[in-house]
Amino acid sequence: MIMFMDSKNVSTRPLKVLYLFAGERKKMEKDWQEGIMPDSHLIGFNHLKDYGVEASYIENRFINYIRKKNFNLTNLALIPFLHRYDIVFSGASLFLPFVAKVILRLKRPKFVWYNTFFTNTLKRNSGNKFRLWVLRKTIASLDAIICPSTAQRRFLIGEDFDPTKIFFVPNGIDIEFMKKKVANSVPSSENEESFILSVGKDMGRDYETLVQAVKDLPIEVRIVALPRNIGNVENIPPNVKVLGFVPFPKLVGLYKEALFVVIPTKSEKHLDASDCSGQYVLLDAESMGKAIIASERETLADYFVGEKDGIVVPAENPEALRQAIVRLLQDKTLIQKFGEVAGKRSVMFTTKNLAGNLAKVFEKVTQK
């Protein structure tokens, strides 16, 4: 059990961590408890108690009302309550640590940030001296930075941020939920045609390349994405079906029935996306034991190695992606091989493991 020694060294108490989520989480937590949704986007919150960490979040009508107006205002409203916690943990806007650490110079609580955007944000603002100064000052003020990829950690160290405060912690998903949903799902009709599945709604997705790659192929391709992801894609062929938003329990069924999964992402020169575009879908597909074709991306390399775990193709290259798809369509044994490897590898990347690794970082930070 992780315990925290108070300043007078006369008693011990559990480490208290305040989670700051960008969106509402109370319903998501309730849905997880009822077995409706996975806990992947709780980022280990619900498992920290197993490691002696008392994690909580503040959510009520007032906070949710402010959040809908402006998330940064929500954080400002919480400043008077921060002294109750040992650690503030979040992956959202850097506005709060800028105010608390840079302007107010608070020593307590410690601020630990989950980094999904620092690389692209720093690059995107490299030409604006004042904004870049604010970003660098705020990132440097953090007590710890959690990176879900080693590429992000290397980048920050290369930018002269303190390496002792930057930790690689692998992402995690709710594998138990996925496997339970699969076990309880009803098989589709044997007459249903085979299909390839592609999933993802962040701005790093590249469905234009996928559409070009599968044109005229004798296989249906189903895309689960938002209108913003597809809006600029022209001449969608008849074998491509855009499903739009799909509730997660139904999405699990699509994963199960798909021949394999394709994750097309833009090249890393595009800076409007998350650093880790494709990571969650990759882990979901691996947990379902699916063969995967993914665009080359540094932040996926810790979870997926080309020709070992699946197929990696150059980003934004329709011909290379088409060749990889045809290769799997013509070799069902290879589909099975990559699927089995993915299923075995996925057990390393669970939300329980994520929580355990976070607990270790939290403990280290409070000992400084």
* Predicted local distance difference test score (pLDDT) of residue 2: 47
How far is Cα 36 from Cα 32, in angstroms, rounded to an integer? 6
* Predicted local distance difference test score (pLDDT) of residue 3: 40
Pairing mode of beta strands 261-263, 240-242: unpaired
* Predicted local distance difference test score (pLDDT) of residue 7: 34
297-302: average pLDDT: 96
Residues with Cβ < 8 Å from 307, sequence gap 6 or more?
none
Percent of the chain with pLDDT over 90: 81
Taking the domains of the chain in order of start, what are their residue ranges? 3-172+350-366, 175-346
The tokens for 303 are: 């979870």
Note whether 3-172+350-366 and 175-346 share their fold. yes
CA distances for 280 relative to 20, 42, 346, angstroms: 20, 13, 12
Whole-model pTM: value is: 0.92
Stretch among 16-25, 70-79, 236-245, 351-360 having the lowest mean pLDDT: 70-79
How far is Cα 296 from Cα 316, in angstroms, rounded to an integer? 9
3-state secondary structure at position 167: strand
In the chain the first and final C-alpha atoms are separated, in Å, by 19
Q: Which of 242, 293, 292, 295 is nearest to 266 (CA)?
A: 295
How far is Cα 367 from Cα 171, in angstroms, rounded to an integer? 24
DSSP H or E run through 145: strand 144-147
Percent of the chain with pLDDT over 70: 93
Say whether pLDDT at 246 is over 90. yes
296-317: average pLDDT: 96
How far is Cα 278 from Cα 294, in angstroms, rounded to an integer? 8
How far is Cα 249 from Cα 319, in angstroms, rounded to an integer? 33
Between 254 and 59, name the one with better pLDDT: 254
What's the mean per-residue pLDDT of the chain? Answer: 91
Question: What tens digit of pLDDT does each residue of 184-221 get?
Answer: 665 554 446 699 999 999 999 999 999 999 999 999 99
- Whose tokens are 């798909």? That residue is 258
* Predicted local distance difference test score (pLDDT) of residue 281: 97
Question: What tens digit of pLDDT does each residue of 355-367 get?
Answer: 999 999 999 999 8
30-45: average pLDDT: 94
How far is Cα 290 from Cα 255, in angstroms, rounded to an integer? 8
Architecture label for domain 3-172+350-366: 3-Layer(aba) Sandwich (3.40)
Q: Which of 202, 311, 319, 187 is nearest to 260 (CA)?
A: 311
* Cβ count within 10 A of residue 58: 14
* Predicted local distance difference test score (pLDDT) of residue 192: 60
Architecture label for domain 175-346: 3-Layer(aba) Sandwich (3.40)
How far is Cα 282 from Cα 109, in angstroms, rounded to an integer? 34
* Predicted local distance difference test score (pLDDT) of residue 184: 66
How far is Cα 161 from Cα 152, in angstroms, rounded to an integer? 12
Question: What tens digit of pLDDT does each residue of 116-160 get?
Answer: 999 999 999 999 999 999 999 999 999 999 999 999 999 999 999
